[in-house]
Chain A
Amino acid sequence: MADIRMNSIMKKYEKNVTAVQDFNLDIKDKEFIVFVGPSGCGKSTTLRMIAGLEDITEGDLFIGDLRVNDVAPKDRDIAMVFQNYALYPHMNVYDNMAFGLKLRKFSKSEIETRVKNAAKILGLEEYLDRKPKALSGGQRQRVALGRAIVRDPQVFLMDEPLSNLDAKLRVQMRSEITKLHQRLQSTTIYVTHDQTEAMTMASRIVIMKDGVIQQVGTPKEVYDTPDNVFVGGFIGSPAMNFLTGRLEERHLVINEVKVLVPEGKMKVLRERGYVGKEIILGIRPEDIHDEPIFIESSQESKLVATIDVAELMGAETYLYSKIAGQDFIARVDSRSDIQNGQKLELAFDLNKCHFFDATSEERIRP
């Protein structure tokens, strides 16, 4: 059993560099947790504190029932895979996988059992005698995973293990890691700055910014109900659009564009006292429509937009435009008939949109 509990964890590197603060998270046994966020937000620092490679400045870290703040890294029963991970070029695959066990003074026969077992799981049995040079990129990455698997740890920590692979291999390894997790059922914490990776792999996502957790939830939760502007903009590609406007009795007014706010949402905004104030509308690109039939039935949430750029992406097209100097993107079914600079009718599906406080950038909720 390996629950991980993090209570008010804080990390200061030097007196004025706070890398992580007020970090609270309960990770349940067998979960696949993904830390995601922009560069420098403290993902690696948090992972390294769990590993014990960085000291925890303040707060408590529990693995199982044990407070491990002062437990040496090697006694924490974890295994790590890192981004730039290399294999020992002069050892064959077998020895690469065995080395960590040798360090921990496992017996020869125990090492052999474990390495062979890991090789079987990863489909590396035929390659045990090869040197890393003679492996493909994917095989090497599997050996890297194998080096962690043989340790049979309570917890796997992975820091952007796929970011050095090319796009195709990355997608393939992504699903291999997911399958591996289903098979081994070990608690896993996985760091990435790629939100697609986060969405496809995680049982829960932890979104971080500037060392602070922004939201924790399942991929669906964070996609459908982002807690703030940052999460809304970070999760989803292309990103959610944000348009600042003034709220009237029944409408949101963004300069010359005036859209009707559905009554359910309007009720909340009214109760929270936002009428007459500036608020931020968050709307996903796929919730902006160009189909005549949708526009027909959305007379009070349509606008005429000048399309700056139309990007044909295969099955769909991204339309780049502006309202009152604010950029937005619409994601519509594939069409190749749009010229740059052309005017086009679009309609917002406001039932699917979110409203955020213009100052705190928090989502406005009942």
Chain B
Amino acid sequence: MIDKIKEMFGDRIVEEFSDVESVNNYRWYKTPQDQPFGIRKHSLTEYEVNLLEIFVTPLPAYYLQLSTEQTMWKQLLFEGTQPDSKSPLKPSRILQFRILSKDADQELFQEAIENMLSDDLIFVWKNTYSLIVIEPFKDEPISAQQFQGLMQTIESDFFIKAVVFIGTAFHTFQDSVESFEKEARIFQSFLSLKNINQVYTLASSFPNYLLSQMDDDDYNFIRNHIFHTIEPELKDTVKMLLKCNLNYSLAAKNLFIHRNSLQYRMDKFTEQTGLDVKTIPDAVTAYLLLLKN
């Protein structure tokens, strides 16, 4: 549908309301597919408006009617406005939510997040599926692990897939703003890695990010070289052992083998690859070589 609309309205239409100017000067709608778009206000005739609203719905007010704080954050984050030193904004951490399914109820999504975290959050919707949440600095913020559970809860309430990137918590709000741009860019590349997380942090996604920067051919070359003679079963064994943080008893239990058999397999692994996962550098190498499918 959006393509048809673009055809009709040409350059009077925009699809992102990333700056305050576009919020005020455009009339905002979303298609039945949840795709938002804005059309320059003064260019629309009443007839066009009536016609449009048969097919598309106006975007709800909470996207567009922003509080002073929301407006300030929006300008800071998306328009590069420099924070001034007397700004009333607080040091914060920035959470970037991305809704990956259609048909989400954004208003209740926002309510769910308020009930997950606290009621002093600032919400800035970038579009109908990207929500930026500014969480004022807390001494004991919710951990990534707790987020994991809360995201599953949201999933089972809304029947949608959603992911979150947890930014770094900063003591000063200048730092929060400065790191946002970089965090946003890195989050974007985490998303394209198609790994299975619902919760991303800089730390937890670092290994995957590192691999995404590496040439596939080189990676495969190195892997094939090191795993040249290895039996496939041994790879699963090592994966499990690493997953169990080198706890042999636990890994053996999960693999349904005796601890001695695990030891025996690991000796074979070392023989065949030269890697001894009891040392940290070799464990890191093995981990990275087993991370990709």
Contact = CB atoms under 8 A, between A and B. Distances in A.
Interface in B86-118: 101-103, 105, 108, 112, 114-118
Interface residues of A, number: 40
A52 B240 CA distance: 29
Q: Which of B101, B103, B149 has the most A CB atoms < 10 Å from its CB?
A: B149
Given A84-B148, A86-B150, A90-B118, A74 B112 contact: no
A237 B149 CA distance: 30
A13 B158 contact: no
Q: Which of B112, B149, B159, B161 has the most A CB atoms < 10 Å from its CB?
A: B159
B279 interface: no
B228 interface: no
Interface in B148-204: 148-150, 152-153, 155-161, 194
Given A90-B118, A233-B256, A234-B256, A74 B194 contact: no
Interface residues of chain A: helix, strand, loop or mixed (majority): loop
Contacts of A73: 101, 159-160
A191 to B, nearest CB: 13
B153 A72 contact: no
A336 interface: no
A280 to B, nearest CB: 16
Contacts of A312: none
A195 to B, nearest CB: 9
A193 B243 CA distance: 15
A204 to B, nearest CB: 22
Contact of B152 (A16, A79, A86, A239): A86
A253 interface: no
Contact of B116 (A13, A74, A88): A88
Contacts of B101: 53, 73
Nearest to A52: B159
Given A17-B293, A72-B159, A88 B256 contact: no
Interface string A73-91: 1100001111111111111
Q: How large is the interface on B (under 10, 10 to 19, 20 to 34, 35 or more residues)?
A: 35 or more
B162 to A, nearest CB: 11
B247 interface: no
B116 A90 contact: yes
A38 B254 contact: yes
Contact of B119 (A14, A90, A148): A90
B45 interface: no
Given A39-B254, A82-B155, A233-B256, A91 B149 contact: no
A103 B157 contact: yes
Given A16-B293, A99-B157, A308-B260, A72 B103 contact: yes
A72 B105 CA distance: 14
Given A13-B194, A83-B152, A327-B258, A88 B103 contact: no
A89 B152 contact: no
Contacts of B114: 90
A320 interface: yes
Contact of B159 (A53, A89, A233, A320): A53
B159 A84 contact: no
B115 A74 contact: no
Given A82-B152, A327-B261, A239 B256 contact: yes
Nearest to A234: B256
Interface string B225-259: 00000000000000010010000000000111010
Contacts of A329: 258
Contacts of B67: none
Contacts of B160: 73
Contacts of B157: 99-100, 103, 147
B273 interface: no
A102 B108 CA distance: 9
A83 B151 CA distance: 11
Contacts of A51: 159
Contacts of A53: 101, 155, 159, 161
A85 B278 CA distance: 34
Q: Which of A16, A51, A53, A84 has the most B CB atoms < 10 Å from its CB?
A: A84
A89 B115 contact: yes
Given A88-B115, A147-B157, A234-B256, 4 more contacts: A72-B102, A84-B148, A99-B115, A327-B260
Interface of A: 13-14, 16-17, 38-39, 51-53, 72-74, 79-91, 95, 99-100, 102-103, 147-148, 193, 233-234, 239, 308, 320, 327, 329
7 contacts: A53-B155, A72-B103, A74-B103, A86-B152, A103-B108, A308-B260, A329-B258
